[in-house]
Structure formats: C-alpha cells, structure tokens
Amino acid sequence: MTVGPRWVAIGKVTRLHGVRGCVKVFPYGDSLERLQPGTQVHLGEVGREPLHALTLTSITRRNRFLVVCFAAIDSVAEARTLVGRELGLPETLLPPTDENEYYHFQLLGLPVRTVRGTELGTLTSILDAGAHDVYGVTDAADREVLLPALADVVLEVNLKDGFVLVDPPEGLLDDL
C-alpha cells in the first residue's frame, strides 16, 4: 500500500461570485493567497481524500474572502458544485512559514501545559479574533478555555516534542 502526502485544507468555498464560475473562498491563513495562477489545488472534504484537482486562474482579495476562479469551471452551475467544499494542497507544497508561525494543522491536537506544569488539555480550535488568534483548549472533562495567542501567553510551540507551553493571564483558569 502506498501512502501519499498528507492533504491540508487551505480554504473553504463559501458562495458563488458573479456569472463566470468564480467562487468566494474563506482562506485558512494566507497559503491560498500566496499561490500563483496555474497552481493545482484539490477539492475535497475534511478527513477524506481530495475529489479532484482544479487549476487556479485568478485569486483576488475581497475583504476577508478571496474571489477564486478555476480553469474548466466557467458557469454558475459548475461553480455551485464547489460550494461547501474545501480546497487543499499536499503538505509538501505549502509555502514555508516564518519563525514562530505555524499552520493550524500543526497546532491542532497538541497538548497544552502551563509554566507551572499543569496539563490544560488539547488545543482543539483556533479562532480568528481580528488582532490575534485565540486558542481553544479542551480538557478531559470537555471544558474549554480560550487563550489569546499572544507572545506573553503562548511562550513556546514545540512541534518536535509536540506541546504548547502557556502562561495564562491571572484569573483565567480560576473556574477550572
């Protein structure tokens, strides 16, 4: 059995745009925006193999969304079949990150511990709060704490050993 590259979702098609088969995509980070026309992305669903490859012809930012057009998708009817699906790339084709930058898939599932040695739980969600991300950490009792992803709160992300070290603000964990 051959195991292929891991597929990583880079955005979700949310709605149609115009009458020429373009769609609006909510990007997960800036990976999609960094791609050039002619690049192949894959259409699929979370946790499943991609359905098929699509070739980008244009990408234009519209506020928090991207308007994306694909070769061979040139009608509203064809574009409608893309809505609700995710766009992905093999992990090996993702643009490199800068120091202290991570893809969401690298962080989700990591254990989170405090500087005092307390295991908070698992990083289960990443929310875009505008100025910064917010990490959702769920403990064994299924309680969630939200941590601002700021340098003075998230002290270390250790992908090699697989953990996130945090120093939560005073009072944040009092109810746990």
Yes or no: say if 157 and 164 are a contact pair by the CB < 8 Å rule: yes
Does residue 171 register a pLDDT over 90?
A: no
Task: Provide the 10 A C-beta neighbour count for residue 63.
Answer: 6
Residue 24 placed within a domain: yes
pLDDT at 48: 65
Q: Write down which residue in 62, 92, 122 finishes a domain.
A: 92
CATH number (domain holding residue 161): 2.30.30.240
Report how many domains make up the chain. 2
Both 87 and 115 in a single domain? no
Yes or no: say if 159 and 106 are a contact pair by the CB < 8 Å rule: yes
Both 13 and 88 in a single domain? yes
Percent of the chain with pLDDT over 90: 62
Q: Write down which residue in 92, 124, 154 finishes a domain.
A: 92
**Whole-number average pLDDT of the chain:** 89
Q: Give the model confidence (pLDDT) of 87-107 as tens digits.
A: 988 888 888 888 888 888 899
Does residue 47 register a pLDDT over 70?
A: no
Q: Write down which residue in 66, 92, 118 finishes a domain.
A: 92
Does residue 59 register a pLDDT over 60?
A: yes
Residue-wise over 95-120: b if at least 16 C-beta within 10 A, else e? eeeeeeebbebbbeebebbeeeeeeb
Q: Which domain holds residue 159?
A: 104-166
pTM (2 decimals)? 0.70
Q: Give the model confidence (pLDDT) of 106-164 as tens digits.
A: 999 999 999 999 999 999 999 888 889 999 999 999 999 999 999 999 999 999 999 99
Cα separations in angstroms, 105 against 1, 154, 173 = 25, 17, 25
Task: Provide the 10 A C-beta neighbour count for residue 174.
Answer: 7
